[in-house]
Structure 1
Amino acid sequence: MPPSRNYMTERLPSPQLLLRINTLRDRALAADSLNALAFSMANDAYSLLQYHQALVLALQGEQAELLCVSGLAKPAEDSPYLVWLKRAGRWLNQQLDGNQPVWLARADLDPPADINDGWAEWWPAGLWCVPLHNRAGQRLGLVLFLLDAPPPAPLPELLSSLWQTWSYCWQALDSKRRLPRWNASRSKLLIGLGVLLLLLLIPVRQTVLAPAEIVSREAQIISSPIDGVIKQMHVRPNQQVETGSLLFTLDETTLRNRAEVLSKGVAVADAELLAASQRAFDNPQSKGELTLLNGRAQQSRAELAAVKAQLARTQVHAPKAGIAVYSDPNDWLGKPVSTGERILQVADPAQPAMRIQLAVADAIALEPGAKVTLFLTAYPLTPLHGEVLETSYQAHPSDEGVSSYRLLASIEGEPENARLGLHGTAKLYGERVLLGYYLLRRPLAAVRAWTGW
Structure 2
Amino acid sequence: MTMNEPLPHSLPHPQLLLELDALRDKAMAADSLNALTFSMANDLYPLLAFHQALVFARHDSSLELLSVSGLSRPSEDSPYLVWLRRASRWVASQVPDGNPVWVTQDSAVVPDDISEGWGEWWPTGVWCVPLHDRDDRRLGLLLLLLEQEPPVVLRQQLGGLVQTWAYCWSALTRQKRFGRWRLSRRQLVLGLIVLAALLLIPVRQTALAPTEIVSRQAQIISSPIDGVIAQIQVRPNQPVEAGTPLFSLDETTLRSRADVLGKEVAVAEAELLAASQRAFDNPQSKGELTLLNGRAQQRRAELAAVQAQLKRTVVLSPRAGVAVFSDPNDWLGKPVVTGERILQVADPAQPAMQIQLAVADAIALEPGAEVTLFLTAYPLAPLKGKILETSYQARPSEEGVVAYRLLASIDGNPEHARLGLHGTAKLYGGRVMLGYYLLRRPLATLRAWSGW
TM-score (norm 2): 0.71
Change (3 A) 1:384 1:9: closer
Partner of 2:293: 294
Q: Say if 2:21 is the partner of 1:22.
A: yes
| Matching residue of 1:34 | 32
Displacement of 1:191 after TM fit? 1.9
Call closer, same or farther: CA 1:422–1:40 in 2, change over 3 Å.
Answer: farther
Question: How far apart, CA to CA, are the structure 2 residues paired with 1:245 and 1:65?
Answer: 90
Give a deviation string over 1:317-349, Cα, whole Å, max 9, x none: 000000000011011011111111100000001
In the aligned structure 2, how far is the partner of 1:139 from the partner of 1:446? 53
Q: How many aligned positions are there?
A: 369
For residues 141 and 358 of structure 2, the distance between their equivalents in structure 1, rounded to whole angstroms, comes to: 58
Residue in structure 1 matched with residue 226 of structure 2 by the alignment: 227
Deviation at 1:18, TM superposition (A): 2.2
Q: Is the 8 A contact 1:221 1:342 kept in 2?
A: yes
Deviations 1:81-110 (A, max 9, x none): xxxxx9x875899698679xxxxxxxxxxx
- Give the superposition deviation at 1:178: 5.6
Residue 240 (structure 2) aligns with:
241
* Aligned twin of 2:395: 396
* Matches of 1:449 and 1:133, distance apart in 2: 60
Which sits farther off after the overlay, 424-433 or 188-197? 188-197
Deviations 1:250-298 (A, max 9, x none): 1111111111111111111111111111111221111111111111110
**1:41-98 superposed Cα distances (whole Å, 9 cap, x missing partner):** 59x97xx89xxxxxxxx99xxxx999xxxxxxxxxxxxxxxxxxx9x87589969867
Letter in 1 for 2:272: L
Does the 8 Å contact 1:27/1:40 carry over to 2?
no
Same amino acid, percent of matched pairs: 67
- Structure 1, unmatched stretches of 5+, are 50-57, 67-85, 100-131, 141-153
Matches within 5 A, 1:333-348: 333-348=332-347
2-structure distance, mates of 1:25, 1:434: 59
- Cα distance between partner residues in 2 of 1:294 and 1:402: 61
Cα deviations by residue, 1:396-437 (Å, 9 ceiling, x for unpaired): 111111100000001111111111011111111111111111
Matches within 5 A, 1:111-150: none
Counterpart residue type for residue 185 of structure 1? S
What letter corresponds to residue 388 of structure 1 in structure 2? I
Q: Is the Cα–Cα contact under 8 Å of residues 238 and 323 in structure 2 kept in the other structure? A: yes
Structure 2 counterpart of 1:150:
none
Q: Which residue does the alignment assign to 1:449?
A: 448
What's the CA shift string for 1:127-178, capped at 9, x where partnerless?
Answer: xxxxx998889899xxxxxxxxxxxxx9xx8998869955873465145246
1:269 aligns with 2:303: no
d(CA) in 1 for partners of 2:439, 2:309:
61
Code of the residue aligned with 1:318 in structure 2: it is S
CA shift in 2, pair 1:363/1:8, >3 Å? closer
User: Compared with structure 1, are the counterparts of its residues 404 and 377 closer, same or farther at alpha carbon in structure 2 (3 Å cutoff)?
Assistant: same
Distance change (3 Å), C-alpha of 1:381 and 1:287: same
Which residue matches 2:308? 309
Structure 2 stretches lacking a partner, 5+ long:
48-55, 58-64, 89-128, 133-137, 143-150
* TM-score when normalising by structure 1: 0.71
Match in the other structure for 1:406: 405
